[in-house]
Structure 1
């Protein structure tokens, strides 16, 4: 009988420098996953890419590694901005403070109430126009309107 520890999967480093987690189970196991790359892998690819001078060699490298030229542009920009720090993906963003969350909630509520007020104003305007039209039709037919106003 095999046992499995309950908890989050432990990240594993794949031979090509990609970082992934063993998530081969669940309803979305067959869906594609976003690839992530280690800073060392990015630096190695950038160095190899820059060293290539023959026509078509850079494209061959990208095809072999399954990368796009946008990866190279993004990684180079990150390397120029902050060397290794720029290459590593930032961690989880800090959550909002309770005050900021309350402000956001109240802002959404105000927007919803303003939209509801605009709908009711439009409906009231429409009812007023319909009333005026019915009075005009009633007068043109020669009968007195039976309005209590």
Structure 2
């Protein structure tokens, strides 16, 4: 049924649909009923409306803000740790008398 409806929709030449119906041994009423059935089945497959509760925009914004705040805290801690490590490296270079990257330039 779907195959024949697709073939009939693809026919562009005059008399092509009639030739298709004769070849398959069908009447035009079959084709018109099948087109309705195919349209109904296609409409049933694609739902128009999502089910379930609607998403709350305020909650989504609050959730995004809290996630960004957590990420900011994490990055701030990493930055503090990196600055501490760099400071220790500079002091070690001063104690050992090694040139720092700033002195090399």
Q: TM-score range by the shorter chain?
A: 0.3 to 0.5
Flag the structure with more relative contact order, 1 or 2, with Cα contacts below 8 A and sequence separation at least 6: 2
TM-score when normalising by structure 1: 0.35
Bigger helix share: 2
TM-score when normalising by structure 2: 0.47
Bigger strand share: 1
